[in-house]
Amino acid sequence: MYVMLLSCCVLVLLMPGPCFTAPTLMPEQESSPSTEPQVDLKLATEYLQHYYNLQIEPMGRMKRSGPPFASKVKDMQIFFGLNATGVLDSDTLEMMRSPRCGVPDVEEYSHVQGTRWNKNVITYRIGRYTRDLPRNTVDFLLESAFSVWARASSLTFVRSHTRNADIMVEFVTYEHGDFYPFDGPRGTLAHAFGPGLGVGGDTHFDDDEHWTAGETGINLFVVAAHEFGHALGLKHSRNPESLMYPTYKSSRSADLLSREDVVNINTLYMESHVSPVSDRPNDFSRISQNNFQMSGSLFPQLIRNKCASDLTFDAVSTLGDATFFFREKYLWIKHNQQYDIKEGPITNFMPKIETSIDAAFWVPRRSAAYLIHESMFWTVKGSLIRGKPRALSHFGFPVWVQDVDAAVHIVKTGRTLFFMHDIYWSYNENRRVMDFGYPKYISEDFPGVNTTINAAVHKDGFIYFFDGPQVYKYDYAHKHVVGVEKANSWLGC
């Protein structure tokens, strides 16, 4: 059976001694005495042979500072951004001793990523578990690691209990049937195969390591997220901030993915039916892979419970083919044609916005969204925040208006309605002026809506008023409430 091992990743802690089975190469001494201990030369030789294709000369001997050896040292230094001298200095040796992935660096690294799964719904199965953590903790950490990539892309991961899942996850030791045996504690950490038949996508963790959910031992969430990147077809990155950087880091920032990781996964799994950007009416039909950095959190327990019975929203707005739900400094994004929901702090998607959002609305003919916080608002166009925040008075409000509770744009009338306490304004988007005679009382013009409005959105001819955990479906043409539902039902609960 043909098996594609595009990105077989082996995380390994390089230690002098019996961790390697490669033959020991003894560099010849030149006229000047060597300043490096023999153990460092042995480590460097094995490292360069494994990761930089250093060739063994006849009789297994080579010169320490000969052209092939020095050239490979320089290649390694260039890859890691070190001083490219070709000499084994302390920084180079320290990097060689760092925990890392076993994929060769120069040959494997490329901005043009490798093979992908020919689908966007990928199944996984957990086989043998580790002895270090409760099963439900392992389930949660692995699901969270998959969610890192799901939130950053169009991918959906579904856990399966059958043996024909795309990605098989197991905790094993030593020889385990794939010709890449583990070597006990403090050696190989894990490895994963790139997409393909047979073992393609399978991800194995060495159960001789001490797996944890924190910074002691080996953090399962961080390692799994890296390995699943390889199982999806991603290769290594030279960017130290990238999750796909070769070396393992026990602690990372809250934004586990770098911008490069996000771009690469979206490039690899670009939806074939998506029209060219110039043909799309707006860029919110897909979150821009270049501008909105959708990152997984190092602390997945901070993910909000979207199905909480008391869930409320501060602002809701359609933006192209997606609906944005804001709550404090958190955001859910639901694409109308997809079942998955992307979520996280607002700054993960819009780094310039570090506050909560009080109201939001979208004007389709301008392909522009307006996000309001207290007396200021941002303009978002083409998935970019345009310019600096501007004053709310730009819309023609009197000076005493310093915030609004909700806003909604009605395409048919060309009006944007702003709600504050028990009154509202009507703004003419065509003339860009406030309509005469406003504000008016909400209860008079919207009978049945006798409450302060937290958020509002217009869809399919109806206005949906969010009041705490409830949503009123309002028939705008006939001026009456036609239904009431739970706010969390909008997130699939």
Check whether 358 is labelled as a binding-site residue: yes
Ligand-binding site membership of 190 (annotated): no
Got the DSSP string for 321-389?
Answer: TEEEEEETTEEEEEETT-S-EEEEEHHHH-TT--S--SEEEEEGGGTEEEEEETTEEEEEETTEEEEEE
Residue 204 annotated as lining a ligand binding site: yes
Q: E strands, 70-112, where? A: 99-101
The reply, when asked if residue 409 is annotated as ligand binding, is no
Answer yes or no: is 414 a known binding residue. Answer: no
User: Is 127 known as a binding-site position?
Assistant: no
Secondary structure of 212-250 in HEC code, one letter for each residue:
ECCCCCEEHHHHHHHHHHHHCCCCCCCCCCCCCCCECCC
Q: Are 224 and 203 in contact (CB under 8 A)?
A: yes
Please tell me whether 76 is known to bind a ligand: no
Answer yes or no: is 176 a known binding residue.
yes
Contacts of 243 (CB under 8 A, 6+ apart): 148, 225, 226, 229, 252, 256, 257, 258, 261
For 445, the token pair is: 């013009």
30 is catalytic: no
226 is in an annotated binding site: yes
Q: Which residues of 212-247 are buried (b: 16+ CB within 10 A; e: fewer)?
A: bbeeeebbbbbbbbbbbbbbbbbbbbbeeebbbbbe
Nearest to residue 66, comparing CAs of 103, 107, 25, 104? 25
Q: What's the order of all strands across the beta sheet hosting 330-335?
A: 315-319, 322-327, 330-335, 341-345
Both tokens of 241, joined, read 């901030």
**Using the 8-state DSSP alphabet, how is residue 261 labeled?**
H
Read off φ and ψ for residue 287, nearest 5 degrees: -65, 130
**According to the annotation, is 403 in a ligand binding site?**
no
Instruction: Pull the structure tokens for residue 386.
Output: 């345009």
Residue 283 annotated as binding?
no
206 is in an annotated binding site: yes
Q: Please tell me whether 89 is known to bind a ligand.
A: no
* Alpha-carbon gap, residue 160 to 181, rounded angstroms: 26
Q: Is 19 annotated as a binding residue?
A: no
Count CA atoms closer than 13 A to 458's CA, side-chain side: 21
Any known ligand binding at 435?
no
Q: Which residues contact 31 (CB under 8 A, 6 or more apart)?
A: none
Which of 46, 227, 260, 343 is catalytic? The answer is 227
Provide Rg for the chain, Cα atoms.
Answer: 28
Whole-angstrom distance, CA of residue 112 vs CA of residue 270: 13
Half-sphere exposure of 329 (CA within 13 A, CB side): 9
In the block, which residue shows the tokens 């217009």?
Answer: 458
Q: Is 107 annotated as a binding residue?
A: no
Q: Is 191 annotated as ligand-binding?
A: yes
Q: In which element (H, E) is residue 316 found?
A: strand 315-319
Instruction: Determine if residue 183 is labeled as part of a ligand binding site.
Output: yes
Binding-site residue positions for Ca(2+): 132, 166, 183-184, 200, 202, 206-207, 209, 314, 358, 360, 407
Q: Which residues are annotated as part of the binding site for Zn(2+)?
A: 101, 176, 178, 191, 204, 226, 230, 236, 244
By annotation, the residues acting in catalysis are 227
State the binding site.
Answer: 101, 132, 166, 176, 178, 183-184, 191, 200, 202, 204, 206-207, 209, 226, 230, 236, 244, 314, 358, 360, 407
